[in-house]
């Protein structure tokens, strides 16, 4: 395939956060593929009065070899026209726009509409329905979505949300990729030493910007469980607070868990991320709402067990009782999982399974089970005229997938008593 001219529109270095990191990595991947890649980032992303953190920027070196231009002002329409003029002059084959918040819809939607019709526009939609909802979100999102040619989502739940805004066939779910930008896995004791942590203590990690939807309060309530206190488990909270930190400090005092909580309430620089993940026994994401999370992918990179709540796309990629736990948002259920993890020594098993997950040679995300069946048969070189046996008691898509590739379905009866499930699966 010949090299393409590709432009990415979205936050990138020196902006910090998961989306900026993702865009940096995406640009690097295009560059390694031999494409001509340019990133158009923001010179003003959020007005200061709308930004809850201390700073939007990080101090690390820019990614090597990537052309990043800080050009877009999210609240200045005159700027949008100037940016479009520059983009159109480059005659790009593709423009990739990151969409994560309705606030950005007027800016990104207008830019998309003004880009030359010769350029195909792909939207990577981190969120369609925002975690923190506001009046007008639906119409702003609709404005942006209607300006694009194709769509990629990073979780199946976001793909479902996308269907409310477009009937386009040009949409696909691909699981959030695993980050490899934070260095290699460290020995746990070495990581603890680097953070000046007691090597004998047990540590859980809550990582990333703290906002209400991420449910840190649920995790704190779980930590107040007497069983967890008796086990001497500590929770590291590593990340800048975008909520009022006093609310959480008051809750910590009310629950009498101050001795069990280690607060690192500043932004964690990229060079320190590996220490926090590798020093921890398990990574916790007790979110109230979620689509996907880069924290999960970092945990996989460092082969760390995880505890997530059953919301959005988190449960899609954390198999329960294999690489960790999927729980309800009830603090007692969260506490039960933590106790089980330590009392029954689950760490080694979960760690090995996490390592197997990320070391699979290939991974293809599909939108549904029908697509999965089709791809599986194509991988086996099954095609026109071939016979494929399938159960008679099944969903119509089973036979449909066979017919789509031109093969012939042959139905096999199943036992009405066992449904052909082996006896040892029926009896625990």
- Tell the burial category of 324 from Cβ atoms under 10 Å away from its Cβ (0-12, 13-18, 19+): buried
Summarize the confidence of residues 154-175 as an average pLDDT. Answer: 83
Token output for 428: 């625990």
Q: How confident is the model at residue 359, as a pLDDT?
A: 59
Question: What is the DSSP secondary-structure string of 252-306?
Answer: HHHHT-GGGEEEE-SPPPGGGHHHHHHH-SEEEE--SS-S--HHHHHHHHTT--E
Question: What is the DSSP secondary-structure string of 400-413?
Answer: HHHHHTT-EEEEE-
Residue 178 has pLDDT above 80, yes or no: no
Residue 316 confidence class, pLDDT cut points 50, 70, 90: confident
Q: Which one, of 386, 380, 396, 388, lies nearest residue 412 by Cα? A: 388
Summarize the confidence of residues 179-188 as an average pLDDT. Answer: 81
Which one-letter DSSP state was computed for residue 164? T
Q: Select the more confidently predicted residue: 387 or 421.
A: 387
Summarize the confidence of residues 365-387 as an average pLDDT. Answer: 81
Q: Select the more confidently predicted residue: 83 or 366.
A: 83
Cis previous bond, 14, omega within 30: yes
Summarize the confidence of residues 54-76 as an average pLDDT. Answer: 83
The CA distance from 228 to 241, in Å, is 25
Query: Cβ contacts of residue 141 below 8 Å, gap of 6+?
Result: 102, 105, 128, 129, 165
Q: C-alpha dihedral over 235, 240, 243, 249, to 10 degrees? A: 40
Apex CA 122: angle with CA 120 and CA 125, to 5°?
165
Residue 427 has pLDDT above 50, yes or no: no
Q: Name the average pLDDT for the chain.
A: 86
Contact 390, 409 (CB under 8 A): yes
Domains in the chain and their CATH numbers? 5-173 (3.40.50.2000), 188-358 (3.40.50.2000), 369-426 (no CATH)
Q: How confident is the model at residue 108, as a pLDDT?
A: 96
Q: Which residue has the tokens 């704190």?
A: 220
pLDDT in tens, 97-125: 999 888 999 999 999 999 999 999 999 99
Summarize the confidence of residues 174-183 as an average pLDDT. Answer: 73
Contact 238, 205 (CB under 8 A): yes
Contact 112, 144 (CB under 8 A): yes
Q: How confident is the model at residue 423, as a pLDDT?
A: 45
Q: In Å, how far are 235, 283, 295 from 327, measured between CA atoms?
A: 18, 13, 17
Residue 425 confidence class, pLDDT cut points 50, 70, 90: very low
Residue 428 has pLDDT above 50, yes or no: no
Summarize the confidence of residues 407-423 as an average pLDDT. Answer: 74
The pair phi, psi for residue 17, each rounded to 5°, is 110, 170
The CA distance from 6 to 312, in Å, is 30
Contact 174, 180 (CB under 8 A): no
Return the SS3 of 391.
strand
Contact 243, 210 (CB under 8 A): yes
pLDDT in tens, 265-307: 888 888 889 999 999 999 999 998 876 678 888 898 899 999 9
Apex CA 125: angle with CA 119 and CA 130, to 5°?
140
Q: How confident is the model at residue 412, as a pLDDT?
A: 86
């Amino acid at each position: 395939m010949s090299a393409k001219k590709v432009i990415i529109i979205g936050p990138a270095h020196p902006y910090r956060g998961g989306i900026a990191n993702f865009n940096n990595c995406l640009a690097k991947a295009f560059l390694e593929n031999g494409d001509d890649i340019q990133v158009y980032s923001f010179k003003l992303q959020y007005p200061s009065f709308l930004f809850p953190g201390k700073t939007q920027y990080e101090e690390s070196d820019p990614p090597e070899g990537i052309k990043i231009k800080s050009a877009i002002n999210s609240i200045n329409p005159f700027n949008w026209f100037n940016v479009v003029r520059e983009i159109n002059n480059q005659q790009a084959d593709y423009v990739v726009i990151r969409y994560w918040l309705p606030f950005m819809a007027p800016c990104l939607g207008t830019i998309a509409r003004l880009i030359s019709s010769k350029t195909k526009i792909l939207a990577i939609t981190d969120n369609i329905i925002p975690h923190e909802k506001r009046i007008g979100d639906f119409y702003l999102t609709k404005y942006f979505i209607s300006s694009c040619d194709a769509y990629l989502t990073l979780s199946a739940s976001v793909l479902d949300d996308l269907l409310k805004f477009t009937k386009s066939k040009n949409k696909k779910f691909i699981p959030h990729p695993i980050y490899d930008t934070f260095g290699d896995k460290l020995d746990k004791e070495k990581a603890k030493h680097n953070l000046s942590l007691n090597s004998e203590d047990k540590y859980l990690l809550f990582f990333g910007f703290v906002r209400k939807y991420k449910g840190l309060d649920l995790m704190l309530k779980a930590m107040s469980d007497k069983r967890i206190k008796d086990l001497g488990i500590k929770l590291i909270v590593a990340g800048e607070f975008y909520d009022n930190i006093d609310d959480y400090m008051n809750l910590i005092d009310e629950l009498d868990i101050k001795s069990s909580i280690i607060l690192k309430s500043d932004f964690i620089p990229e060079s320190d991320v590996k220490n926090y993940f590798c020093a921890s026994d398990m990574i916790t994401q007790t979110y109230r709402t979620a689509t996907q999370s880069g924290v999960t992918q970092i945990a996989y990179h460092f082969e760390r067990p995880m505890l997530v709540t059953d919301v959005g796309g988190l449960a899609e990629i954390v198999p329960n009782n294999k690489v960790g736990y999927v729980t309800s948002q009830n603090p007692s259920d969260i506490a039960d999982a933590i106790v089980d993890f330590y009392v029954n020594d689950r760490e080694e098993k979960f760690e090995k399974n996490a390592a197997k997950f990320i070391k699979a040679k290939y991974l293809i995300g599909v939108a549904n089970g029908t697509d999965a069946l089709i791809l599986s048969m194509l991988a086996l070189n099954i095609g026109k005229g071939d016979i494929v046996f399938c159960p008679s008691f099944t969903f119509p898509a089973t036979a449909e997938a066979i017919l789509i590739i031109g093969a012939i379905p042959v139905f096999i009866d199943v036992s009405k008593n066992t449904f052909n499930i082996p006896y040892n699966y029926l009896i625990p």
